[in-house]
Each structure stands twice: as structure tokens, then as C-alpha cells.
Amino acid sequence: MLSNLKPQAEDKILALMGQFRADPRQNKIDLGVGVYKDATGLTPVMRAVKAAEKQLWEAETSKSYTALAGEPAFHAAMAEMVFGANYPKDRLSALATVGGTGACRQAFELARIANPGFTIWVSNPTWPNHLSILSFLKQDHKLYRYFDSAARAVDFTAMMADLDGVKPGDVVLLHGCCHNPTGANLTLAQWSAVADLLEAKGAIPMIDLAYQGFGDGLDEDAAGTRLIAERLPEVLVAASCSKNFGIYRERTGILMVLSDPADRALTQGTLAYLNRQTYSFAPDHGARLVTMILTDPALRTEWQTELEAVRQGMLGLREQLAAELKRLSNSDRFDFIAQHRGMFSRLGATPEQVEQMRIKNGIYMVGDSRLNIAGLNAETVPILAQAVIDAGV
């Protein structure tokens, strides 16, 4: 049986991680993997997470199973963070998942059960896992144009022209903020126009919200998602706690579904069914820490203070890199870096130029020139800027 297996395509980002680890150069720079790092290259445990873990260690009396869909307190805390304090409790169904990836997978599965003939529309470009999972599921999907590679900005006219083709019951996948891999976000006016289109077409929005708090602020980054939630009768939101709480290895995510109140119980039961068919119970440790932080005023203040410092640090690196490239190039063609938000931007380099920077400078980024801003620090920004200019970007 096993001899019939065929080699699977290697994940490009994971392959890049392997190349980086094997590189003996001391001054190499990792801008590939989408993990937050501080100025020392460490992904630190946040202070509020440490404090919550200590409290949990002292108070926890059992490691028994929790609820199949996750704890209601986790659902409520995350719903309040994403949708706001006055979120519609009578419309909400929720499911604790194995990270944000698990939330996306379960959202796709839910849509397949509810409407087997649907098509999912995905931005071009998007996070590679979206397309990988959809292809694995053999799920019909189409790409809509999103990014103008020349302007390094959202091509909203093209996006809306493509989405004009959605059919009733189709799902449109949107990035809530800090678009991966481009860093180019929709404005609130554009979110409103998208809501108008989806409402007119009878399509269902699915929002992947993996970086809330990394762009313009915790509430600001949720503004588009909240607008959609208020305007559309059915909404899917896959949220990750990996980045904004720094708990990558705890695999903490959530799928939240807004529906007609009459459909809530049926939706919630189907969500629990999906967990049972895959991994039964999602990990609880990270979800419990997140719940403690979001519901304890002191812990929440500590967390938000540190999250804001992380956000401001990335903005500072963006501004420094844009300024250094402007100085070296004597042009404003790299100003988009300071205008983008979140961990990522697409530099606009060709795969050949990316490879040149890897070979000559030990700078590792994905072949489409997506770079992780958080992989830089004040000392490595000038090194990257000079390499970019030398490569002829």
C-alpha cells in the first residue's frame, strides 16, 4: 500500500526555513517565516501570558476534557475582542480550533456541508495555506484580483470587477487586516463597498483575521470585520491567537459564525460535529490563557501595552526601511513599505533578485519577495536596503 504513495510538493516557506538553518553564515537574515521576532531574533513569551500561566498552574485542578466546541468563556472573550462589546450573542456560534489554520479548514468544511455546490473566491495573492487546503479538499475555488504589483497597492477596481461574478451562496474569503502576503489593506470605505456587493449577490463573507492588533490597533484592525458583521446576515470569521498573543505552539484559534438566531442551535451543533470528526477536542491550554487575559483587567492592560509596543516596533522598522531605500535609490518607489501594515510586504523583486540576495547577502525571503518586517532590526535594515539596491529591485 505505502509504496503507492507519491512525493508531495514541499512547502516553500518550510523549505526556506531549512535552507536558512543550514546556512553557516553568522550574519544571515531570516525574512521568510511568518513569525514575530523581537530585535534579538527571539519570539518572546508575552508578560501577560507568563503571568496567566503562573496563575493557571496554581489554580488548575484537572486536565480532563473540556467542551467539544471549546469553552463558552473563550468564545465570549474572543467574540468581544473581534466584534466589540455589543456583539450579537443571539447570532453567534463558535468553535475552538487547532490554530487559525484549523479555523479556516473547519470554515471550509462547514460551507461544504451547508452548500455543497458553492465556489469560494480567494484573493490573488493570498496566504499559501488557503489554496493548499482548498486544493486538497478538491473544493471549487476562483481567484479575484487584489494587488497591483506595479503600484504595490490594492487594485480595488479589478477586485470588484472580479467579485461581480459571485453567485448566491458562494463564499468570498477576505483578509481582516494586515493582508498576507502583501501588507496592503482595504480602507473602511472599500469594506463598505464590498459589503454592498456581497449583500446584493447573496454571497457569504469569510474573514481570516490572523493579525488583529498588528496593523493600526486592536479595535482599528477589526473595523472592517465589524462592518461586515453588522451588514451581512451570515458571516464566517476564522481568528488566530498565535500572533497577537505570541502563543504559536499552543495552536489556539477559533471559528465564529454569525447567522439568523433561528439557525444558531443547528449551526453550533454542526460545528461541534466537525470537531468530533477531525480531532475531537481542540487544545485548551492556549484558549484558557487567552480567556484569562481578556477577562482580567490587569492582565488585559499588560497584554495590550505589550501588543502596542510590538505594533509600534514594526511600524518603526517599516519607516526606517522606506527611508533608507529612499536615500539609497534617490526615489520614492519604496514608500509603500511605510504605508503597508502588519508583518508582511511584497518588495517587488523578481525570483532571480530574491535568489541573488540569498546567495550574496544571506538574506532569506519567499520567492515572490514577501518579506517579514518583524525579521529585521535597526542594525539589519541598512543591510537589507543596500542588498535590495544592489540587486536592482
Alpha-carbon span 225 to 213, nearest angstrom: 13
Dist. CA 128–CA 317, nearest whole Å:
25
Q: Specify whether the CB–CB gap between 148 and 129 falls below 8 A.
A: no
The 10 Å Cβ neighbour count of residue 168 is: 10
Given the residues 107, 239, 243, 391, the one annotated as active site: 243
Is 127 labeled as catalytic in the residue annotation?
yes
Asked if 336 and 236 touch (Cβ cutoff 8 Å), the reply is: no
Catalytic residue among 30, 48, 94, 127: 127
State the catalytic residue, choosing from 210, 222, 229, 385: 210
- What is the Cα–Cα distance from 276 to 273, expressed in whole angstroms? 5
- Which is nearest to 36 in space by CA: 214, 179, 221? 214
CA–CA distance, 153 with 336 (Å, rounded to integer): 8
**In angstroms, rounded to a whole number, what is the distance separating the alpha carbons of residues 367 and 320?**
23
Bridge partner residues of 338 (DSSP): none
The verdict on whether 243 is a catalytic residue reads yes
Cell of 171: 463564499
Residues 162, 208, 221, 284: which is the catalytic one? 208
Fill in the amino acid letter for 157.
T
Q: Which positions are annotated as active-site residues? A: 127, 208, 210, 243
